[in-house]
Structure 1
Amino acid sequence: MSRIKRWINMNKKEFNADGTMKDEVRQQKISQGRNPAAIDDYALRAKQEYDEWKLLDETDPEPWPVYTAYDFFTAEEKQQFNPDGSLKPEYVEQALQKGISENWLEEMERRKKIDVDNYNAVSAKYAEQGINFGEEQMQERIASSKTYGQRLKQMAIDLRNCEPADSLPFDKETTYW
């Protein structure tokens, strides 16, 4: 979300939300025998960093791409579900025609809504700390997809070398050779 929120979150044990050192922290450092001038210098440098981050937030805010749970649905799930986790009426109609029970469809919808609610809760919690949960998840997916081919090639080598199944990146029964 913002640099300043991250700064506050990283320094909340020693500093107030306005970037000043907490009095009890200063007193504790003095009681531990630290030089008051060195403590004041440390507090001044931290306050300057706080002010710099705050100014950056105001003049050059970081991009904050917004990802929803729907962005992480598979292609099949996007055909079945709405962004809120409810089943699409056309999917329900097709599924009932195929003989899928209404109870199972309700259970699918219930589970997907829980997934969406959980994503939203975690995303909100991270945002309070200045962390873009959705962006982190998306970057993780992108990185994983980039290495998929490499991991697949390595698995072929590992299989030829009779490596134990638990050390393989994929289940050899579900991978097509």
Structure 2
Amino acid sequence: MSGTRIKRWLNMHGKEFLADGTLKLEARQQMLAQGISEGAIDSYARRLKIKYDEWKHLDETDPEPWPVFTAYDFFTPTEKQQFNPDGSLKPEYRESELALGISENWLDEMERRKKLEVDNYNELSAYYAQRGINFGKEQMEERLAFSLTYPQRVKQMEQDLRNCEEPSSLPFDKDTSWF
């Protein structure tokens, strides 16, 4: 997806800055009213404009990869046997369950819930894409991180501590005695 860095920049700074990376007049006036000097405001605006220009250049010359994940990618193997990518029940599954005596109402409810889940995923994905965030990729990375075994997570945390990662991003409290 093109422009993901700029979308993130605007998501972070859009209240104060225009879409071209320049400081909004009302933001400048508010800063002046708070007693911030013209020089400090100009310095702040210049620094953020430089960052904006860097990110814009990167978006143009080296776009970030944007792997596309659908809700179906997060279905369990069993759900993939039961449901189509849009959340509707597969006809063969519906028929086999009806033959086993499962009620039509229950199957309709299963389908309704799965379609709602797919719709929610699609809405979140679109919402975050507008802000330059790949929701599906983040969900997949989170799922993969949870799938690591406990010893792997401990080992990863030790590496993260050596790399001076932010403590809030660590899976465990860094002051735990077994470290």
TM-score w.r.t. the length of structure 1 is: 0.80
Identity %: 72
- State the partner residue of 2:82: 80
From 62, 67, 70, the equivalent of 2:69 is 67
Measured in 1, the distance between the counterparts of 2:73 and 2:150 equals: 20
Shift in Å at residue 59 of structure 1?
A: 0.7
- State the partner residue of 1:169: none
Residue range with higher mean Cα deviation, 72-81 or 123-132: 123-132
Shift in Å at residue 49 of structure 1?
A: 0.9
Measured in 1, the distance between the counterparts of 2:150 and 2:114 equals: 27
State the superposition RMSD in angstroms.
Answer: 1.6
Measured in 1, the distance between the counterparts of 2:151 and 2:76 equals: 19
Measured in 1, the distance between the counterparts of 2:141 and 2:109 equals: 31
Instruction: Return structure 1 stretches of 4+ with deviation > 6 angstroms.
Output: none
Shift in Å at residue 19 of structure 1?
A: 0.4
**1:145 aligned to 2:156?**
no
Residue range with higher mean Cα deviation, 110-119 or 21-30: 21-30
- State the partner residue of 2:127: 125
Distance change (3 Å), C-alpha of 1:149 and 1:76: farther
TM-score w.r.t. the length of structure 2 is: 0.79
Shift in Å at residue 14 of structure 1?
A: 1.3
**1:13 aligned to 2:26?**
no
From 109, 115, 118, the equivalent of 1:116 is 118
**1:131-167 deviation line (CA, Å, top 9, x unaligned):** 111111111110101035779xxxxxxxxxxxxxxxx
Measured in 1, the distance between the counterparts of 2:152 and 2:23 equals: 49
**1:16-41 deviation line (CA, Å, top 9, x unaligned):** 11100011111222233322122112
**1:56 aligned to 2:63?**
no
Listed as ranges, the gaps of 5+ residues in structure 1 are: 152-177
Measured in 2, the distance between the counterparts of 1:13 and 1:58 equals: 24
- State the partner residue of 1:166: none
Measured in 2, the distance between the counterparts of 1:43 and 1:149 equals: 46
